[in-house]
Amino acid sequence: MERPRMVLETRDLTKQFGGVVAVNELNYAVEEGELRCLIGTNGAGKTTLFNLVTGALKPTSGEVYFRGVNITGLSPHQICRMGIGRKFQSPNIFQELSVSDNIRVAAQGKSGFLGLALHTYDETFEDQLPPLLKSIRLYEMKDLRASSLSHGQQQWLEIGMVLANHPSLLLLDEPTAGMTMAETRETVGLIRDISAGMTTIVIEHDIGFVREIAETVTVMYRGRILAEGRLDEVERDEMVRDVYLGRQRE
């Protein structure tokens, strides 16, 4: 009987920094088309997991599989080309470039050099640009320098950039970090829209946000999976409550 295709799978993935084990023999899997949330206290290993998946870090042991292909140890640009896109925790964009140029750079990441040099003006892409800008609510600012955007707008810009890169697996690291209430609400709709037809993993702290968008939730604690399931199930889990209420368990 065929299991639904695992887009991302880690096998006994471990990352150790000196004495600290950030990710501990983690077996994490995400199915095609899921919108999965990854939550946990600070230091649980969530961002480290992202780093391991995207090639920013090499694991101490264990493997990462993307669509059945072993991507352990590949470099970030290779992994990106295979279809994994990442949004970083704090807005990681090109401050000095305009909003549109930011997206253009992101979009052309997978084309070869000759393509870059010869094509100044890509008709098809330029046609797709306005709708993309509108979907991230930045159409009016398209010619503004990225550094002049607000924090929340920069977060949206980065999301747009990652989208323009056409990933099939989208990793969002705290997309609403530093956002106002209004911006957070906007982002809910934004993420719902963009995650249609794509596999998405979102790291988040804001439980209200998680409630709005999540189907399945994974709770990490000290580099391991503490619980996994729908949010209401996970919320009722004893161990999860202990961890969140501060009662340490070994």
126 touches another protein by CB under 8 A: no
Angstrom distance (rounded) from CA 81 to CA 115: 16
Nearer to another protein, 11 or 81 (CB): 81
Angstrom distance (rounded) from CA 85 to CA 167: 5
130 touches another protein by CB under 8 A: no
148 touches another protein by CB under 8 A: no
Nearer to another protein, 77 or 230 (CB): 77
What sections of 55-171 are H helices per DSSP?
76-82, 99-107, 113-118, 123-135, 151-164
Find the binding residues for another protein in span 18-57 (CB under 8 A): 54
Tokens linked to 104: 């253009």
Find the binding residues for another protein in span 185-224 (CB under 8 A): none
Angstrom distance (rounded) from CA 172 to CA 208: 17
- The number of residues that bind another protein (CB under 8 A) is 33
Could you tell me the smallest distance in angstroms from the CB atom of residue 37 to another protein? 21
Contacts of 96 (CB under 8 A, 6+ apart): 145, 146, 147
Nearer to another protein, 115 or 189 (CB): 115
Angstrom distance (rounded) from CA 200 to CA 169: 6
109 touches another protein by CB under 8 A: yes
Greatest alpha-carbon pair distance for the chain in Å reads: 60
Could you tell me the smallest distance in angstroms from the CB atom of residue 209 to another protein? 23
Could you tell me the smallest distance in angstroms from the CB atom of residue 91 to another protein? 10
Angstrom distance (rounded) from CA 19 to CA 111: 41
| Helix (H) and strand (E) counts in the chain | 10, 11
Find the binding residues for another protein in span 76-105 (CB under 8 A): 76-77, 80-81, 85-86, 88, 92-97, 101, 104-105
142 touches another protein by CB under 8 A: no
Contacts of 198 (CB under 8 A, 6+ apart): 33, 167, 168, 169, 170
213: region left, alpha or beta (phi > 0 left; psi from -120 to 50 alpha): alpha
Q: Which of 165, 184, 200, 218 binds another protein (CB under 8 A)?
A: 165
Q: Which stretch binds another protein (CB under 8 A): 60-68, 69-77, 173-181, 215-223?
A: 69-77
Cα–chain center distance at 161: 12
Could you tell me the smallest distance in angstroms from the CB atom of residue 152 to another protein? 19
Tokens linked to 99: 């909003």
Q: Which stretch binds another protein (CB under 8 A): 74-82, 172-180, 206-214, 240-248?
A: 74-82
Q: Under the rule (CB under 8 A), what is the footprint of another protein? A: 54, 75-77, 80-81, 85-86, 88, 92-97, 101, 104-106, 108-111, 113, 115-120, 122, 161, 165
